[in-house]
Amino acid sequence: MATAQMSNNGIVVMNRADLSDDGFLGCRLQILQPTKGYRAGIDAVMLAASVDAKPGERVLDLGAGVGTASLCLAHRLADIAVTGLEVQADLVVLAQENARRNGLAARATFVEGSVAEKAASLATKEIAYGSFDHVMTNPPFYDEEKVWPSPDAGKAKAHAFDEVNLKTWVEVACAMAKPKGTVTFVHRADALPDLLLHVGKRLGDLTVLPLWSRQGEDAKRILLRGTKGSRAPFTMMSGFTLHRREGGFTAEADAILKEGGALPFKIA
């Protein structure tokens, strides 16, 4: 029988042989994911909370993993459709199961495929360039030539680029959005210069939101959002603090991580 425990990042984990059943959004969502390798956490929830989609709009989640960000967004916004693209077939199966078990399969679909695929190939999977109102993505973190790979194959694949680099990942994310559509990235803070370089003039109204673990500490993560075709100027927001100095999440973080609320992000 599975046993439940609270992990350090506030996620409820039910241990099984090779999968855990993790509670997100205050256990409003139950997400199956591998116990070893890359595991979804706060980044996925914050990414989903940063997307402001209107009823009837389509959202693409590039590198969807087990579907955590997609399902957090679909849970919060009842009248949108989310498509997740994921290169690892076993994770696609888990994402599909997670959608089903959370009652979201009608609005959240997951497709096996790679950012490295040709546009025509992706279009046959109903993932066509220029067809999404919003694109959200947590790009792989590491360049295989600069960082020692993880001994766990799944984690290494999630953190290292599979046949693509950050430049290509950014280009595809931007290409997938409709004119006036938004593209949102969550990434390491030290990757911001590269993100901005690769975005170039593809997006305008670029907004950066640093995610502080605690006040007074350097930001380890950032959210970057832009609007395709916009000419609005760049904005650096004051930042969002996740933890109180005395421990535990801030009230603002709790409203997102446990209550499923939206992130107060600048709206284009």
Distance CA 211, CA 209 (A): 6
| Max CA separation in the chain (angstroms) | 56
Closest CA to 136 of 217, 76, 220, 96: 76
pLDDT value of position 153: 45
- pLDDT for the residue numbered 243: 96
**If pLDDT is split at 50, 70 and 90, which confidence band does 31 have?**
very high
Is 23 part of a structural domain of the chain? no
Rounded CA separation 175/184 (Å): 13
107-127 pLDDT per residue, tens: 999 999 999 999 999 999 999
End-to-end CA distance of the chain: 48
Q: Token pair 């046949």 is at which residue?
A: 163
> Which residue type occupies 122?
L
In this predicted structure, the answer to whether residue 91 has a pLDDT above a threshold of 90 is yes
pLDDT of 1 over the 50 cut: no
Query: Do strands 221-228 and 108-112 pair parallel, antiparallel, or not at all (unpaired)?
Result: unpaired
pLDDT of 141 reads: 76
Backbone angles phi, psi at 187, to 5 degrees: -160, 175
Residues 133, 179: Cα–Cα separation, whole Å: 8
CATH code, domain with 228: 3.40.50.150
Average pLDDT over residues 129-149: 75
Mean pLDDT, residues 5-21: 60
Per-residue pLDDT band for 38 (boundaries 50, 70, 90) equals: confident
User: For residue 163, what pLDDT is reported?
Assistant: 60
Q: What is the dihedral of CA 109, 181, 259, 237, to 10 degrees?
A: 140
User: How high does pLDDT run on average in the chain?
Assistant: 88
Helices (H), 124-190: 153-159, 166-176
Q: Which residue has the tokens 């957090």?
A: 72
Domain count, the chain: 1
Higher pLDDT, 155 or 150: 155
Query: Average pLDDT in the 263-268 region?
Result: 68
Range of the domain at 231: 41-257
In a domain, 140, yes or no: yes
Average pLDDT over residues 41-61: 97
Residue 13 has pLDDT above 50, yes or no: no
Q: Is the pLDDT of residue 135 over 70?
A: yes
56 vs 32: CA distance, rounded Å: 28
Residue 21 lies in a domain: no
82-115 core/surface letters (b: 16 or more CB in 10 A; e: else) = bbbbbbbeebbebbbbbbeebebbebbbbbbbbb
* Burial tier of 37 (Cβ tally within 10 Å: 0-12, 13-18, 19+): middle
Q: How far apart are CA 141 and CA 128, in angstroms?
A: 25
Query: 216-227, pLDDT tens digit by residue?
Result: 899 999 999 999
Residue 1 within any structural domain of the chain:
no
CA distance 105 to 74: 10
Mean pLDDT, rounded, for 2-23? 60
Residue 246 lies in a domain: yes
Question: Is there a domain that residue 35 lies in?
Answer: no
Is residue 10 situated within a structural domain? no
Q: Rounded distance, CA 31 to CA 44, Å?
A: 12
**Structure confidence by residue, pLDDT tens digits, 66-87:** 999 999 999 999 999 999 999 9
Instruction: Look at residue 37 in the predicted model and tell me its pLDDT.
Output: 82
Any domain includes 46: yes
